[in-house]
Amino acid sequence: MNSLTTLVLLAWRNLFRNPRRTAASLLTVALGAAGLLIYQGFNEGIMNQYRENTIRVRYGHGYVFPKGYYDKKTEEPWKTWISGREDVEKKLKATGQVIEVFPRLSFYAFLMKGGLTLAGRGEGILPNRERTFFTAMNFISGSDLEGSAEGSDEIILGRGLAESLGLKVGDLVTVLGQTVHGQMNGLELTVRGIFHTGSKEFDDSFFRIDLDRAQSLLDTDRVEHFAIQTSGVEAWPTAHAAITAALPELDAKPFDDLDAVYYKNAVKFLESQFSFIRSIMLLIVALGIFNTIAVGLLERAGEVGALRANGESRGRLFRILLCESAFLGVAGGIVGIVIAVLLDRLAFRSGIPMPPGPGITREFRIFLEIQGQHYLQALLLPAVTTVIASLIPIVRLVRKSIPELLRS
């Protein structure tokens, strides 16, 4: 048996010589690792909640616009809208990166009920397609639009807009808009559903109708843009490149660029905040580990003095004690991961209730979403912290003289 193996075995056996001291050190490291892992999973849960809400309420994974349409305002934007919708849809799906295409037509209109008139932002959609993917509308009464071959004479509205007009499911509302030729046109629609996404600005002004009805209102057969569904957020760069190559006359933008104020800026703010809090947590965990390890090592001064008196060198003792600390760190990380997983499966199984966040008017639940890299961090960070925290106490201990150690 070589000297390295002997050293490792001695360090491992030493952990069991004083179970109380080892348990105290192990628990400190484990709680630190569990806290970091739960915090990482909580952060990931919040980020994913924001992301999924943004994707499945309105934007999908991105929009496809006419070239330059998004960044440039024109006096007559309908002249640049997309014609030949079916051909464009076929080309988008033929890229192999687009799962589904959602043609849309956005417009501003007046909604009239009795003596009340309010301005709102409307959107014409294909309900049969949209309802299978955009599932975060949260209908508080009624239901989503039902598509038909002839189109639907129904409308869904945000809660704030419906309350301002005094509308409820089954009521008739008049939608008055301007055609692309500058003439006034109107539709009489039945309220099918009232939704609540949590975004006050969206819920106070937004409504949706069937795409055929929207085109009839505006007197056009074109669509403004396509929302698209890909295999996931991570697939967007590949999808963007494929769309650009297949349809160079169109621009594609991801959902986070389209919703920079609500989503992208909020995520950047939260990530910076979480990074700062995580740094503070790491510092507190490191100080706790340092205190526990230092006290445990100082208690062993007499033991170290006896070993020195029997001929053990300072260098060999240093390596044994450092190896013990490494074992403690790794074992504590493993125990911490087990604690975090148990808490996730038991205490946090039904989610963590949260108050309304920035720009949101409804409460929601956060579920811990612990990723593979989080487990690795929870294992390595406490182990590294334990080794670093033990360096100074170990150096001070082995530098003492034998009489001083034995007196301790």
Q: What is the pLDDT of residues 74-123, one digit of tens each?
A: 778 888 999 999 999 999 999 988 999 999 999 999 999 988 999 999 99
- The low-confidence residues of the chain, meaning pLDDT below 70, are 1-2, 148-151, 261-262, 357-362, 408
Read off the pTM: 0.75
The pLDDT of residue 6 is 77
| 3-state secondary structure string across the chain | CCHHHHHHHHHHHHCCCCHHHHHHHHHHHHHHHHHHHHHHHHHHHHHHHHHHHHHHHHHCCEEEEECCCCCCCCCCHHHHCECCHHHHHHHHHHCCCCCEEEEEEEEEEEEEECCEEEEEEEEEECHHHHHHHCCCCCEEEECCCCCCCCCCCEEEEEHHHHHHHCCCCCCEEEEEEECCCCCEEEEEEEEEEEECCCEHHHHCCEEEEEHHHHHHHHCCCCECEEEEECCCHHHHHHHHHHHHHHCCCEEEEEHHHHCHHHHHHHHHHHHHHHHHHHHHHHHHHHHHHHHHHHHHHHCCHHHHHHHHHCCCCHHHHHHHHHHHHHHHHHHHHHHHHHHHHHHHHCCCCCCEEECCCCCECCCEEECCCCCHHHHHHHHHHHHHHHHHHHHHHHHHHHHCCHHHHHHC
pLDDT at 271: 80
- Per-residue pLDDT, 230: 93
pLDDT of residue 361: 63
